[in-house]
Structure 1
Amino acid sequence: MMWYCRFRYQPGVRAEDVRHRVLEQHDKGLTHPEKIRGWYNLAGGGAGFMLLETENPQELTEMLEPYMDVVNWDVHAVYELPYEQMIDHFRRQR
């Protein structure tokens, strides 16, 4: 399953706090970089989103929980729409 995981720093949290947590989890081998399909920050800082791929929602929760005191998560299941295939599909629907 693919997940759109929007994040925003919790009130009072500094970028340094988030960087420290990410490194801490990485050094413990808990970040699962093979499951990260994209990681984006919004201009201005303090927010962004990740695209994560997991087998199930429980696995996703295990990945996000260690960050809940430094970032607020807004999570949605997503799926890809290959553009050319969708155009063909739409043409057949007319």
Structure 2
Amino acid sequence: SLQVRHILCEKHGRAMEAMEKLKSGQRFSEVAAQYSEDKARQGGDLGWMSRGSMVGPFQEAAFALPVSSMDKPVYTDPPVKTKFGYHIIMVEGRK
């Protein structure tokens, strides 16, 4: 399973704006709080998720990412499109 964090935007343009913020060095959690439409968890943290608990494209992208930290995040670029919108995903742990 993976410890996943994401930023979800319904509109592609908004996801690209969030991506620009990340590239300029803003913390992933701050960008998530500001841009993500999934307010369920602060800072985009989805906690530990197992294979089969995520929608297809999200799961494929998440499992393909290396584990990274908020200090040096590695995230999906371009954002991943699902039925929910556009996700910028990062993985903070794997077990």
Q: TM-score, normalised by structure 1?
A: 0.31
The structure whose Rg is larger is 1
Name the one with the larger helix percent: 1
Q: TM-score, normalised by structure 2?
A: 0.31
